[in-house]
Chains A and B, each alone.
Chain A
Amino acid sequence: MSRTVLVGASAGGLATAEALRRAGHQGEITLVGDEPHLPYDRPPLSKQILKGEWKPDRLALRGRADIDALDLDLRLGVRATGLDMAARTLLLADGTWLPYESLVVATGIRARPLPGAEQVAGVHTLRTLTDALALKARLSAGRRLVIVGAGFLGAEVAAVARGLGVDVTLLEADAVPMAQAVGEEPGWFLSQLHRDHGVRLRTGAAVSEVLSVGGEVAGVALADGSEMPADDVLVAIGSLPNTEWLAGSGLALGDGLVCDEFSAAAPGVYGVGDVACWHNPLFGTKMRVEHRTNAGEQALTVAHNLLNPDAPRPFAPVPYFWSDQYDTRVQAYGYLRDHDEALVLESDVTARQFLVAYRRGDRLTGVLAMGKSPKILRAWRALIASGAAWEAAVTDTAAA
């Protein structure tokens, strides 16, 4: 019977397995993951786990019984290291060769390291449960945490750490945090929120060196000569897609595994989740989306296409993400990057509310909000999904 091999045992790989079984797929399914854990949820790592609100067992995406019911050939704690497309065989780190008929690449991303700082004790990245527990163990009132990179991950950790009484310095290389992703004004709005909560924010800050004493972190030196003392440093400067194991396989690799509008990378080979760079026909552009919701949605489409190669469905989602900052939630629908305009429709720092619409060409492509009812956002999402014209969308919705 046919064997489907899913590489990556996180949200995307698990959802693909579930979708295949729910569609009645009887064939063998092998799920390969490099971490030893059953599939777990990552967004709470920088939130509930770091705060100490949840114990790690709360992260399990499915209980053991649900996993068993999927009847998977589960290979955990072993990394995929190579792929022979001609022979349709996958090589694992333990020397096993796994033949497949269909292959799903869901190997995700890893944190981008800060060169030269990887071996210093007290320098952290945050991607896995192990990472989160290591950082959590070090955070307490009065400790000094320097966060390199004021993107959403760095900002979430800053908020949690402040809540724990940690002295937080947030370093950002750009002039305005998150401006590339969300625009200047929204970036300033979010910066102000952090300053109001006592975060020391340094923009235009180029890190030249992580300072250490006896292998333990002591601080961070900046290019302008200043130094920030630190008990811990979190490096949150983006991510790298885990595609090295596919080098030489013949698959196209760029910013991730390059896939077409059906999320296919080659006949019988598909990409799911953070690692996949696919053509989203709704926006007419290639994108790679590192949001939790995208992995689940892409898995559903890929499972369908895998079982119905003659009637594939394009993967054309409206991306969605959320981020918790202090006691409010930022939510966004659509494609915010590469926007031509970010129009601030509402902005009230005191009430912690804002609403921003994004335009690319003459079309509405995204919305970002804080402190707004999700029901209002659903109306915006519908407009984005329908490819609404910018003028009409902004005028009508602002008036509504």
Chain B
Amino acid sequence: MNVAVDEPKCVAAGQCVLIAPEVFDQREEDGVVVLLDGTPDPVLHPVVRESALACPAAAIHVTTS
């Protein structure tokens, strides 16, 4: 799995951090998403997919090879 984030689209809702704190964090100053791990462990794939679904700005893109 490859994860990418579209920073300018991010609205700093923090939904992804709540669902998958191993993969996402937020910048201190403006809350914009920080991708901690672009190729997460398979055990995390369900929560990453859920994060992409729950993101209010559709700013998380998941591709599987």
Q: Measuring CB to CB, which residues of chain A are less than 8 angstroms from any residue of chain B?
A: 11, 15, 18-19, 22, 41, 43, 58, 60-62, 292-293, 296-297, 299-300, 320, 322, 329, 331, 373-375, 377-378, 381
Chain B stretch 16-37: residues in CB contact (< 8 A) with chain A? 17-18, 26, 28-31
Q: Residues of A contacting B28 with CB < 8 Å? A: 373, 375
Q: Is there contact, CB below 8 Å, between A300 and B53?
A: yes
In the assembled complex, the Cα of A381 lies from the Cα of B56 at a distance in Å of 17
- A-B pairs with lowest CB-CB distance, top 9: A374-B31, A292-B56, A293-B56, A61-B58, A296-B54, A374-B26, A293-B13, A374-B12, A374-B14
Our pick among B9, B12, B17 for the contact of A329 (Cβ within 8 Å) is B12
A320-B13, A322-B12, A329-B12 known; A15 vs B31 contact (CB < 8 Å): no
Asked if A322 and B11 make an inter-chain contact with CB atoms under 8 angstroms apart, the answer reads yes
Main SS class of interface, A: helix
Interchain CB contact under 8 A, A22 and B58: no
User: Do A300 and B12 touch across chains, with their CB atoms under 8 A apart?
Assistant: no
22 contacts between A and B (CB under 8 A): A11-B56, A15-B54, A19-B53, A43-B11, A43-B56, A60-B58, A62-B58, A292-B56, A293-B13, A296-B54, A300-B50, A300-B53, A322-B11, A322-B13, A329-B12, A329-B30, A374-B12, A374-B26, A374-B30, A375-B31, A378-B14, A378-B18
A375: B residues at CB distance < 8 A: 26, 28, 31
| Closest Cβ–Cβ distance, residue B26 to chain A (whole Å) | 5
Closest to B52 in A: A18
Chain A residues near B54: list those with CB within 8 A.
15, 293, 296-297, 300
How far, in Å, is A400 (CB) from chain B's closest CB? 16
Indicate if the CB atoms of B58 and A41 lie closer than 8 Å. yes
Residue of B nearest to A293 (CB): B56
Contacts of B55 in A (CB 8 A): 296
**Which residues of chain B are near A15, meaning CB under 8 Å?**
53-54
Q: Beyond the given A43-B11, A329-B30, A373-B28, please list 9 additional residue pairs across the A-B interface where CB-CB is below 8 A.
A: A15-B54, A18-B53, A41-B58, A293-B56, A320-B13, A320-B15, A331-B31, A375-B31, A377-B14
**Chain B residues within 8 Å of chain A by Cβ, number:** 21
Cα A289 to Cα B28 with chains together (Å): 28
Q: Give complex CA distance A306, B14 in Å.
A: 27
CB distance from A81 to the nearest CB of B (A): 30
Query: Which A residues are in CB contact (< 8 Å) with B56?
Result: 11, 43, 292-293, 296
Minimum Cβ distance to chain B for residue A113 (Å): 27
Task: Give complex CA distance A329, B30 in Å.
Answer: 9
Distance in Å from the Cβ of B12 to the closest Cβ of chain A? 5
Contacts of A61 in B (CB 8 A): 58
Closest beta carbon of chain B to A42's beta carbon, Å: 10
Q: Is the CB of A41 within 8 A of B26?
A: no
Residues of A within 8 A of B11 (CB): 43, 322
Q: Which residues of A contact B29 (CB under 8 A)?
A: 373
Assembly CA distance A329 to B9 (angstroms): 14
Tell me, rounded to whole Å, the shortest Cβ–Cβ distance linking B19 to chain A.
Answer: 10
B30 to chain A, nearest CB (A): 8
Question: B18 — which chain A residues lie within 8 A by C-beta?
Answer: 378, 381
What's the least CB distance linking A169 to chain B, in Å? 28
- Distance A58 CA – B9 CA, assembled complex (angstroms): 9
Kindly state the separation between the CA atoms of A62 and B15 in the bound complex, as whole angstroms: 18
> Complex formed: what's the CA distance from A289 to B30 in Å?
25
- List the A side residues contacting B53 at CB < 8 Å: 15, 18-19, 22, 296, 299-300
Min Cβ gap B64→A in Å is 11
Distance (Å) between the CB of B33 and the closest chain A CB? 10
The listed residue with most A CB atoms (<10 A of its CB), out of B15, B29, B53, B57, is B53
The CA of A41 and the CA of B49, in the complex, are separated in Å by: 19
Docked complex Cα distance between A342 and B32 (Å): 28
| Docked pose: A69 CA to B60 CA in angstroms | 17
Q: How far is the CB of A306 from chain B (nearest CB, A)?
A: 15
A218 CA to B14 CA, complexed, in Å = 44
Cα A178 to Cα B54 in complex, Å, equals 28
Smallest distance from the beta carbon of B32 to chain A beta carbons, Å? 9
* A-side contacts of B50, CB under 8 Å: 300
| Chain B: minimal CB distance from A184 (Å) | 27
* Bound Cα distance from A320 to B12, whole angstroms: 11
Min Cβ gap A328→B in Å is 10
